[in-house]
Structure 1
C-alpha cells in the first residue's frame, strides 16, 4: 500500500515527536516554559533592536513600529504559553507544543535567512535584515504554537476515541459471549422440544427455535455493524439483488401494521453492496413507519426504484408529518434525531458511503418525507 507524501510526512513527524517526548522530563511545565522562553527572547530582541535603531535614527515611527511587531509576536507566544500551562494537555503533548514553537521559529527564520543570503550573493543591499529575521522568527513561533496545539488536540481526541473503542469492544465481546451461551442452551432445548412434542406445544417450540435463530443472526449482524462503525472491519461488496431485500423488510411490517398502506414497486435490479444492505433498508422503512406515521387513515409508505447513468435510486417515502428543513441537513449525524438514539440514520449513511453511494432526505408532496438511497448498479 502506498501513502501520499502528506501522510508520510505526518507519520514521520508523529514518530519524531513521540521519540522526543519520550526523552524529555515528565513535567507539565516544561513545554509552556520552552514556549514562554522563546516569546520572552523575542521581546528582548525587540527591545534591543529598538535601542539600536533609536541610537542610529532617533525616536521615529519606524523603530517603534518594528518594536511593536517583533515584541507583539513575542508577547503573543507568551500568552499562548500561559494558556498552554493551564490546558488539559498532558506532559508529552505540552512538550510537543513547545517544540513546535521552536520548530516554527526556526523554519520561518531559516527561510528568510536563506533568501537574504541569496540576495547578498546577487550583490543586492538588504535593508534591516535583523528586523526581517526577528519578525519572521516570531511569527513562525506563533504559528508553531497554534499548529502544535491543533496536533496535540488531535492526539488527545484520538486517545479518547481509542479508549472508547476498546471499551466498546470489551462490552461487545462480553455481551456476545453471554448471549450466545444462553442462546445455545435455548436452541438445544427448543430442538429437543420440536422432536418430542406435537400439536400446539410443537408449534410453540418451533417458534422459540425460530426466534432464537433470528437472534443469533442479529448478533452476527450487530457485530459486523460494530466492526464497520469502529473501522475494525472491511466491507467486501458484491452484486446484491435489491427487490428481495425490500420485500423481506416490508412483509413483516405489513403484518404488524395493517392500518398502514405499503406501496412497493421495486425493479429487478442488482446493486453493489453486502449483506448489511438489509439493515440499511430495514432502518429506513421502519423509520418511515415509526417516525412518519401521523395516525391518519390514508397514511402510506411507498418504496420504488429509478435508474440513471449506472446508478440505482431507492426511494422510501411516507405521507406523514415530515422532517423539518432545519433538521434535514444534520439528520444523518450521530446522536441527531427527532426521537430515539439517532444511531440508525448515522449507520445508514456510513454503510451507503462504504458502498460508493449516497443518501439524502427530501420533502414529499403534499406531506411527509422521502429518503433517497443512491447505489452503484452492478
Structure 2
C-alpha cells in the first residue's frame, strides 16, 4: 500500500475544495440566467469555499493523518452524491422532465463536500480519541508493570533486610525502616488497584478481604468484624484494598484510637457492606469522584480509591454523618452462583 507524502495529506482537503470549485465555477461562466447562475454557481462556490477554508485550517492546526481521513470521507460523500445526481437525472429523462445532469452536478458536489466534511471531521476526531486512549492505556500498563516489578520488589527487599537487621542487632532504626518499607509497599498496592487488569469481576470472599485488610493496622484502630463467612461478592483482587481504604478514612479522621464496626447483609442479589466508625470530626465528604480534590493529601486519596473501586464493581455508596461518627454503606453485587452467607 502506497502512503501519500505528508504535505499532500496535510493540504489534501484544501486541494479537494479548490478542485471541486471548478465545477460550479464553470457553470457560473456558462449560465446566462441569473437565477441559474446563483443556484448552480454562486451558492455551491460559497459552500466549497467553506470546505477550502476548513482544509487550510486543518493543514495548519491538525496532523496530516487527521486531514487525510477528513478528505477521504469528503470525497466518498461527494462520489455518493454524484451517483444520486446521476440517478435523479436518469429518472427525470425517463419521465421526460428534461433535468440536465450538468445542472445538478455543482449542487450535489458542494452539498456532498459539506456533508463529507462534517462526517469526516467527526470520524477523524473519533479516531484521534481512540488512539489517545490506546496510548494512555499503554502508559498506564507500563506504570503498573514498573510499580509491580521494580518499586514493589525493591520495597520488599528493604523490608526483609531491615527485619533481619532488627532481629540481629535489636536496632530501633531498623524497625522503623521495616515499618516504613511495609507502608510504602502497601501504598504501591493501593496505586496498582486503580489499574484494573481487564475490567472483569469474579466471586471474592468479602469476609476474607475484611480479615486481610484489618491485619495491617495496629493499635490506632479497633475493628469489630461482623461479616459472616463465607460472603461472596463480584469483585477482583483489589477488594481488600477497598476495605483497607475505608478503614484508613476512619483512622485519618480520628484524633486517637477509632473503633470501626464492619458488617454485611444480603438483600436479594446484593450484599450491603456497612462500615460504622466513631470518628466524628471531620465528616466524610462527597462520594462524587469529580468533586474529590486529589491534591488534598492522603485522606482525599483514600476517598478517591473507595469511589473508584465501588464504581468498578458496579456498586453504590451512601454516607451518613452523625455527631458520633460516620456510617458508610456500599451495595455490591452478590456472587450469582454462591450463597453469600453459606445458608442452605
TM-score scaled to structure 1, two decimals? 0.64
Equivalent position of 1:140 in the other structure: 112
- Could you tell me which runs of 5 or more consecutive residues in structure 1 were left unpaired when the two chains were aligned: 1-18
Q: 1: CA distance between counterparts of 2:130 and 2:325?
A: 39
8 Å CA contact 2:75, 2:116 repeated in 1: yes
Q: Report the 3-state secondary structure (helix = DSSP H, G, I; strand = E; otherwise coil) of the residue aligned with 2:241.
A: helix
Q: 2: CA distance between counterparts of 1:124 and 1:345?
A: 75
How many equivalent pairs are there? 328
2:5 aligned with 1:25: yes
TM-score scaled to structure 2, two decimals? 0.69
8 Å CA contact 1:109, 1:134 repeated in 2: no
Q: 2: CA distance between counterparts of 1:159 and 1:311?
A: 37
Larger relative contact order (C-alpha < 8 A, sep ≥ 6)? Answer: 2
Q: 1: CA distance between counterparts of 2:172 and 2:119?
A: 67
Equivalent position of 1:99 in the other structure: 72
- Could you tell me which runs of 5 or more consecutive residues in structure 2 were left unpaired when the two chains were aligned: 336-344
Please state how far the C-alpha of 1:205 moved relative to its aligned partner.
7.0
Q: 2: CA distance between counterparts of 1:142 and 1:369?
A: 58
Equivalent position of 1:314 in the other structure: 273
2:38 aligned with 1:64: yes
Q: 1: CA distance between counterparts of 2:144 and 2:198?
A: 18
8 Å CA contact 2:11, 2:67 repeated in 1: no
Equivalent position of 2:56 in the other structure: 82
CA RMSD in angstroms, aligned pairs only: 4.6
8 Å CA contact 2:289, 2:304 repeated in 1: no
Q: 2: CA distance between counterparts of 1:366 and 1:66?
A: 77
Q: 1: CA distance between counterparts of 2:301 and 2:102?
A: 58
Deviations for 1:211-251, whole angstroms, at most 9, x for unmatched residues? 756755665x35853652xxxx3366432222443455467
Point out the more displaced range, 74-83 or 133-142.
133-142
Question: Are the structure 2 counterparts of residues 316 and 208 from structure 1 closer, same or farther at C-alpha, using a change threshold of 3 Å?
Answer: same
Q: Report the 3-state secondary structure (helix = DSSP H, G, I; strand = E; otherwise coil) of the residue aligned with 2:6.
A: coil
8 Å CA contact 1:236, 1:274 repeated in 2: yes
Query: Equivalent residues in 2 for 1:264-283 (5 A)?
Result: 266=227, 268=229, 269-283=231-245
Q: 1: CA distance between counterparts of 2:327 and 2:22?
A: 65
8 Å CA contact 1:266, 1:305 repeated in 2: yes
Deviations for 1:129-186, whole angstroms, at most 9, x for unmatched residues? 5555433332332333344344444444555555555555556655643652464265
Please state how far the C-alpha of 1:376 moved relative to its aligned partner.
1.7
Q: 1: CA distance between counterparts of 2:302 and 2:98?
A: 64
Q: 1: CA distance between counterparts of 2:47 and 2:209?
A: 63
2:290 aligned with 1:330: yes
Question: Are the structure 2 counterparts of residues 340 and 137 from structure 1 closer, same or farther at C-alpha, using a change threshold of 3 Å?
Answer: farther
Question: Are the structure 2 counterparts of residues 38 and 339 from structure 1 closer, same or farther at C-alpha, using a change threshold of 3 Å?
Answer: same
Query: Equivalent residues in 2 for 1:154-193 (5 A)?
Result: 154-157=126-129, 159-160=131-132, 176-177=149-150, 180-181=153-154, 183-184=156-157, 186-188=159-161, 190-191=163-164
Question: Are the structure 2 counterparts of residues 182 and 310 from structure 1 closer, same or farther at C-alpha, using a change threshold of 3 Å?
Answer: closer
Point out the more displaced range, 277-286 or 142-151.
142-151
Query: Equivalent residues in 2 for 1:352-363 (5 A)?
Result: 352-355=310-313, 357-360=314-317
Please state how far the C-alpha of 1:377 moved relative to its aligned partner.
0.6
8 Å CA contact 1:313, 1:374 repeated in 2: yes
8 Å CA contact 1:41, 1:74 repeated in 2: no
